[in-house]
Structures are given as C-alpha cells and as structure tokens.
Amino acid sequence: MERKRYLTALTILTAVIAAATAQGPGNIPAPAGTPDPDLNEYYRFPLSLGVEYQNLTPFGGARTDYNAVDLALNLRFPIPSKPSFQPFLQGGIITVDSTDSAEPSKWDHSHWYGAGGLAYVHRFARTFELGLQAHAGLSQSVFPNLVSSGDVGALNLMAGAGGKIALAPSYNLAIEIQPGFRYMRSFSGLRDFDGFLFGLGFSASYRFGEDPDSARNLIRSIRVEETQLPPLFSAMQSYYAAGPAVRVSVYNTDRSPLTDMEVSFYQAGYMDGPSPAVKIPRLDPGETRQVGLKVSFNQEVFRTEGVTPLIGEIVTTYKSRGRGVEQRHSVSYDLHDKTAITWDDDRKVGAFITPSDSALRNYASFIRQSVKNEVLEEYSEALQIAMQVYGALTELGLLYQADPSLPYTKVRENRDVVDSISLPRDTLRRITGDCDDLTVLFASILESVGVETGFITVPGHIYVAFNTKIESRSYRDLHPDRWMSIPVDGSLWVPVEVTLLGRQGFLEAWRRGAELWRLYDGETENRAFYQTAAVQQVFRPIGLRETDLGLQYGSGQNIAASFRKEMSRLSDLVLADYLAESRSGGKADLNRLGVAYSRFSRYREAEQTFKQAANLDPDYPAPRINLGNLAYLRQNYAGAIKSYEEANRILARQGRTGSGAAQKLLLNISSAYHAMNKREEAQNYYAQAAAIDAEKARGYAYLGRASEPAAGRAAAQRSGILFATDEE
C-alpha cells in the first residue's frame, strides 16, 4: 500500500512538471536561424546545498517488517567544464521503525552515515531537469533497545542508485523528486536488516551563483560604433542581397574574448528575417572588427514612395565565458524609392532596364505585329527591330526633356547627389524623359524581344547601344562607313542617340551615337561601354508586378510606313557603296552587289546581277549558289536544287569539295530537301556538310534529324539559307 502511494505521487508530480515545461526551452532570447543555447552550460552553478527527505521500504531482504526514513544534507559541486556531471557529498541519519508486532521497539535503530556519489543531470528547459545518480558510503548503526546493557551498533556498507526529476522555479532554488534503490550490508554478525530498499523522497536545494537572466548579470560586451547608416536604395535590392551593403564596426568592451560571433542586419517590415550573418570566430578584449553586412530586402521596398526614414537593427550573437548572448543595436537610415540612384557606379543603370515588364512586352508585341509585312528576312533582325521601336516611340510622341532641377550633366559630376531614373513603364506613360530615362526605356523594349543591349557613358551623357550579331568584318552589311558600328567581342554594336527621338530619324540618331563614341577615342576615363547582361549579373532588374498601362500605342500603319521609309534610306546607303564598287565589272564585285540586293529583298535586281556575274565566268560557283538561294526564297525548291547541283559540280571540278563554300552549298541543299519534306536526302547532305566543319554545322543540326515539326521548317526557310561570297 505504501509503495502504491509513492508511485501515485510520482506520477502526479511528473505530469505537473511536464505540463509546466510544455512551452519549450525557456525564455532565453535567440535570433531566428541560430541554434538554441546549451541550457546546462547557460544555467550552470558553482555549488548547491540541499536537504533531503526520503521514505525507504524494504523488499527482498531478510526482514521486511519495518519502515525507514532518511533525512540528509547534500553538497553538490558540478564540474565547471562539464556542468551536467555533478559530484556530491551526502551525510544524514536513517531512522528505522520496526513493525514487529511481538517486539515493536526492540529492533528500532538509527544509521548515521556519510557517502559520496556522482549525478548526471540534463536540463531540458529553464525550469526542468532530469537526471541519474549513484552513491556509496558507510553508516554506523545504533540499536538502543536490542540489549539491556545499553546501545550497541555496527559498521555498515551502503550504496544506492536512482533518478532525479527537478523543478527549478528560479535559478537559485531547486525542488527534486528522487526515486531510487538502496542496498545495506552490515559488517557484523547482525544481518537481519541487510538487503534492498526502495525509496521515494523529496529534496530542496539552494544553488549558489547569480542568475544569468538577471538584469545585473546581463552581458553587453559589444558596442557598435555606427548609429546612423548611409542611405539605401530600393532599386539596389539584388545588389544589397549579394554583397556588403552596410558596413559597421563592432568593438569588444569586455575583458574576456568573445567567440562564435555572428553579425547580421534586420529591418522589420521590409525583410523576412535577418540577413545572412557575417561570422567572426573570435574577438579579443578591446579588439574592433569592421564587417560588411548583406541586406536582404523583400518586395515591399518597391512599394515605397520618396524617402522613407527607417530604424533597423544590427543583430549580434556570440558566446561570452561560455554563455550564449544576443545584442540588438538600433541604427537609423533613409530608404529611397525604386526610382532613386547615385552615380558612384554607372553599372547601376542595369537595375532600371526591365525587359520582363509585361507593359513593355505588350507594347513590343504591338510594334512587331504592325510591321510584320515589312520585315526583311535576310537583313539584321536586331537592327530592324531597333528601327521599328524608334519609329514607334516617335509615333507615340515621345520626346527628350532634361530634368529642370537635376539635369544629368550636373548629377553625373557629383556622385553623392541622389538622382532619379524613371522606370521604363513610367516614361512610356509620361512620354517624356531625359537621357537616362530614354536609354533604359529603349534598352528595355529591345531586351524584351531578345535583342542584346548595352549603354555608353561619356561626360554628361548616357545613351543606348545594341548588338546586331553581324560579324565585325562584315560591317558593310550594316553601313558602308566602318565607324558607324562598334566591334565588341567579334560582333558589331550600333549606338543610338535616343535624345533625338521625335526630332530626327533613326539614321541620324545612329550617326550621332557613333560620332559621340568616336569623339572620345582613347579616353578611357571619359568613355565607357557596358553590356546589359553583364551589369545585371550584379544589379538585377527591379521587381515589378504584372500590370498593363492601358496606353494608346498610336497608328500601326504609321509605324510600318516610318519603318519602310527608314529601311529604304538605309538600303540606298548600303547599295550605293556596292554599286560604286561593281562598276569595275568584276565578277566578285557583282556577286557581292547581288548579295546586298538579296538582303534588302530586292530579288529582281539580285537575280540580274548574279546572272551577270555567272556569265562572266562559267566556272564561278558563288553566283550559281546565290541564284539557288533566290529560288529557295521564292519557294521554288526544285529550281533551287538545280542551281545548287550545278554549283556543286563546279566545286568538284575545282577540287574544292572541302571548302567553306562547299559546306554552305551542302547546307543549302539540305535545307531545300528539308523544306520539301524529303528527310533522308536532307540528312545525307547535312552529314556531308558536318564532315567538313562540325562546329560551323552545329547551328543547323535540325536538318540532320529524322523528323522536324512544321515550325522548324518555317524557321529553316527564314534563317537556313547561306549566301556565298569569295571569302570562302
């Protein structure tokens, strides 16, 4: 019955303690993303003194007709480096009360004892511990009523083991339940009380030391030198997340080193959590360390307007004398909206080029639909798109207008002045902008349809450029003047002075852009060229929500007419150069003129010119290849193959079956058979072309496949034909 009461009491108290600690690991503050502190280390104490009371019930021994009560003092001293291991000393008295009905007082006696032991205790929460302990020692028993002559006694061995369930309502006070077993053995001939006892008791102990959570013991070892940060800019969101955006100095004011330090930045409302932390393994007393912090703003920064004063936090976590600590330091700064910029790094412009903006994509789609019947299949697609966009913006009424308060020429000289660049969608809505506004608008629209862009900076000015994908050596395919294009990595780029929008045509804007580029030849400090794709690796585009502007795009017919007019002017310039060259009557000059006619879709003049070149030399294969190309473009595939085969026989007679011209010819024959849906023949000729130069043939790999959808055949008809010149 007594044992059942003990077990019931143990069950109830355990349930109460578990419920009290169900809230988690206590109230130690910890920053998000950091591991929980070691509670055994954090709440360690140097020494505790306690009093214990325990009921002992014998079982399995020589006698069981008695009860015992243990009252003791306990001195416990945890190992400093391993506070979960706690050696202890214990001394007290065990009072044994006999329940022998025949001689109830004869066997009453006491044990005065001393013991030493070791406990292992694990703290699961601030107020809850579980543990195991074992001890061994000696006792001196005293029997006052065993013989009439007086007290008798004997020396005894005692040992025990059990568990501990502790509730610590405060750092200095602990209340424990201690279930366990004990073994007693006498060194004399009196063995009646040898055996095992089950015990269930309680203890209360006072733990010396100071509560680490107390205000007086609160650790504040770090001082952050900065209380105000430089302004931050919403448009630089991606840059701040990738590299140090905020620099602060942390100073160790303590006399002890600080270890495992992490420093991060947090801004409530504009961040989902503290930014990735900078780690400092050790900071010695008096040491100062400057750290650069990332700032991981979320999309909320793009919804601010103007300048927003904010107060952020520098979050520092570290260990001081083995204890985990967190400090938060408030810092103030201004957050500028998504249109703001300073010109300390020209590459920042890349963040304002937004090709994924649905409003721009819709506008670009309207432009291309308006001119789809005017597009020249064999001329530079990028240059034609740039002309179309320029004409469409002119039709929309877009005009250059300098910023009256902060013109670009002024802010560019002072790199600390905060300027603004309108988002392309806003410039399109407002239909006015200064040079940086128009540059990012023009570049964004071109990028939205896959044209690679860049921007050029010269003193007091910025303007756009785009990649034509034409090889540098073929500059005459774009313009007879070599200086009208900029060679970059083997391709020709066209500069456009966008501030001439609405005032002069595309060709004038192109020429002015080229003149500005040449004006600063050799002055690397005054002229710079940036490719959008490269700068957006660092300054990614501003994030925008998918919305349309509901703009009136202007007349599609007027856009088409403007494009047709500009292309006619450009073709006259290019063809005039080839015409002048062909007046010598040379076959190669005539062939190049025919190719130029073909690129501008002037097929009748091209056919006449190719025939003239072929008549001058029956063994000249290039014009015959190109006559086949004209037949192909007119969808006369059988006629194309006939011309190709004639050219192939000429190359074979000349021993040039492995030449570049032969490879072009074989690819053209494969394309013609492919367009006729004769796959086996197309594959055969493609294999012959790939055998000459596999790398150059790689772009036409679709010709070697067993099947190709109709869309693939249409694409082949557009770009698969290769004109022959004397360079092969």
User: Of the spans 506-515, 583-592, 704-713, which averages the highest pLDDT?
Assistant: 506-515
Tens of pLDDT, residue by residue over 185-227, are 999 888 888 889 999 999 999 999 888 777 555 667 889 887 7
Q: How many Cα atoms occupy the beta-carbon half-sphere of 690 within 13 Å? A: 15
Position 406 confidence tier, pLDDT thresholds 50, 70, 90: low
Q: Which of 336-345, 419-428, 436-445 has the highest mean pLDDT?
A: 436-445
Question: Is the pLDDT at 16 greater than 80, yes or no?
Answer: no
**Per-residue 3-state assignment (H helix, E strand, C coil) for 51-82:** EEEEEEEEECCCCCCEEEEEEEEEEECCECCE
- What integer is the mean pLDDT of 322-336? 89
Q: Give the mean pLDDT of 157-183.
A: 93
Residue 31 is predicted with a pLDDT of 42
Q: Could you tell me where the beta strands, DSSP code E, fall in 99-188?
A: 109-125, 128-147, 150-167, 173-186
pLDDT of residue 371: 94
pLDDT at 412: 61
Q: Which residue has the higher pLDDT, 146 or 298?
A: 298
Angle at which helices 506-519 and 381-396 cross, to 10°: 110
pLDDT at 415 over 70: no
The pLDDT, as a whole number, for residue 708 is 57
Which pLDDT belongs to residue 347?
94
User: 210 or 1: whose pLDDT is higher?
Assistant: 210
Domain with CATH 2.60.40.2550 in the chain: 219-336
Q: Are 119 and 74 in contact (CB under 8 A)?
A: no
463 beta partners: 456
- Whole-angstrom distance, CA of residue 94 vs CA of residue 98: 13
**pLDDT value at residue 575:** 93
Q: Which fold has domain 2-207?
A: Porin (2.40.160)
Please state, as a whole number, how many other Cβ atoms lie within 10 Å of the Cβ of residue 469. Answer: 14
Instruction: Give Cβ neighbours of residue 467 (< 8 Å, ≥ 6 apart).
Output: 382, 451, 452, 453, 454, 488, 491, 492, 493
The token duo for 342 is 């300073």
**C-alpha span between 349 and 419 (Å, rounded):** 12
C-alpha 81/C-alpha 70 separation (Å) is 32
pLDDT at 360 (0 to 100):
92
pTM: 0.70
Report DSSP letters for 90-109, one per residue: EEEEEEEEE--SSSTTTT-E
CA distances from 656 to 45, 296, 650, 670, 671 (A): 93, 62, 9, 18, 21
Write out the two tokens for 530: 């940036």
Q: In what order do the strands lie in the sheet with 246-252?
A: 222-224, 246-252, 288-293
pLDDT band at 25 (very low <50, low <70, confident <90, very high): very low
Choose which CATH entry (1.10.1060.10, 3.40.109.10, 3.55.30.10, 1.25.40.10) describes domain 584-719.
1.25.40.10
Second-level CATH architecture of 219-336: Sandwich (2.60)
Least confident span in 29-38, 388-397, 431-440, 654-663: 29-38
Per-residue pLDDT for 308 more than 90? yes
Residues paired with residue 139 on neighbouring β-strands, in sequence order: 113, 156
Question: What angle do helix axes 679-692 and 660-675 make, rounded to 10 degrees?
Answer: 160
Position 145 scores a pLDDT of 85
DSSP code string of 531-546:
EHHHHTTTSPPPP---
In this structure, of 9-18, 264-273, 331-340, the range with the lowest mean pLDDT score is 9-18
Residue with token string 């940036």: 530
Tell the burial category of 62 from Cβ atoms under 10 Å away from its Cβ (0-12, 13-18, 19+).
exposed
* Other beta carbons less than 10 A from residue 32's beta carbon: 10
Per-residue model confidence (pLDDT) at position 398: 92
What does the pLDDT average to over 416-430?
A: 89
Closest CA to 683 of 656, 647, 707, 648: 707
CA distance 457 to 65: 103
Query: What counts of helices (H) and strands (E) characterise the chain?
Result: 19, 25
CB 108 within 8 A of CB 145: yes
User: One-letter amino acid identity for 597?
Assistant: Y
Tell me which residue has tokens 């721009």. 360
CB contact at 8 A, 141 and 120: no
Provide, rounded to the nearest whole percent, the portion of the chain with pLDDT above 90. Answer: 64
The answer to whether 119 and 164 are in contact (CB under 8 A) is yes
Phi-psi region at 3: left, alpha or beta (left = phi > 0; alpha = psi -120 to 50)? alpha
> Is residue 120 within 8 Å of residue 85, measured between CB atoms?
yes
Q: How confident is the model at residue 389 (pLDDT cuts 50, 70, 90)?
A: very high
Average pLDDT over residues 316-343: 89
Q: Residue 710 has what pLDDT? A: 46
Q: In the structure, what pLDDT confidence band is assigned to residue 4 with cuts at 50, 70 and 90?
A: low
Amino acid at 313: E
pLDDT value for 713: 45
| From-to residues of CATH 1.25.40.10 in the chain | 584-719
Quote the DSSP letter at residue 506: H
What integer pLDDT is reported at residue 529 of this predicted model? 97
Nearest to 657 by CA among 688, 614, 699: 688
Quick: pLDDT tens for 430-457.
999 999 999 999 999 999 999 999 999 9
What is the three-class DSSP state of 5?
A: helix
Alpha-carbon gap, residue 546 to 429, rounded angstroms: 16
C-alpha radius of gyration, the chain, whole number? 45
Confidence of residue 597 (pLDDT cuts 50, 70, 90): very high
Question: In which region does residue 537 sit, left (phi positive, over 0), alpha (psi from -120 to 50) or beta (all else)?
Answer: alpha
pLDDT, the chain, mean:
87
Strand extents, DSSP E, 168-275: 173-186, 195-207, 222-224, 232-233, 246-252, 258-266
Q: What is the pLDDT of residue 485?
A: 95
Task: Output the six-digit token pair for 479.
Answer: 């313009």
Q: What is the structure's pLDDT at 14?
A: 53
CA 653 to chain centre: 61
AA letter at 443 = A
Torsions phi, psi for 155 (to 5 deg): -85, 140
Q: What is the pLDDT of residue 490?
A: 93
Handedness of CA 338, 339, 345, 351 (dihedral sign): positive
Confidence band of 720 (pLDDT split at 50, 70, 90)? low
The segment(s) of the chain belonging to CATH 2.40.160.20 are 2-207
pLDDT of residue 217: 54
Q: Read off the tokens for 643.
A: 């011309």
For 361, the enclosing helix (H) or strand (E) is: helix 358-370
pLDDT band of residue 64 (cuts 50, 70, 90) is confident
Residues in the chain: 728
545 has pLDDT over 90: no
Contacts of 483 by beta carbon, 8 Å cutoff, 6+ apart: 514, 518
- Among 312-316, 473-477, 517-521, which stretch is predicted with the lowest mean pLDDT? 473-477
What pLDDT sits at residue 29?
44
Instruction: Return d(Cα 332, Cα 326) in angstroms, integer.
Output: 20
- Per DSSP, 261 falls in state E
Reply yes or no on whether the pLDDT at 115 is more than 90: yes
What stretches of 520-659 show up as alpha helix (H) in DSSP?
532-535, 556-582, 587-599, 603-616, 621-633, 637-653
Question: Given a cut of 50, is residue 520 above it in pLDDT?
Answer: yes
Rounded to a whole number, what is the largest CA-CA distance in the chain? 151
Q: Taking residues 342-352, report their average pLDDT.
A: 93
Question: For residue 253, which of 219, 281, 279 has the smallest C-alpha distance?
Answer: 219
Query: How far apart (Å, rounded) are the C-alpha atoms in residues 497 and 465?
Result: 9
Question: For residues 368 and 388, what is the distance between their CA atoms, to the nearest angstrom?
Answer: 8
- Section 324-353 average pLDDT: 92
Weakest mean pLDDT among 207-221, 256-270, 470-484 = 207-221
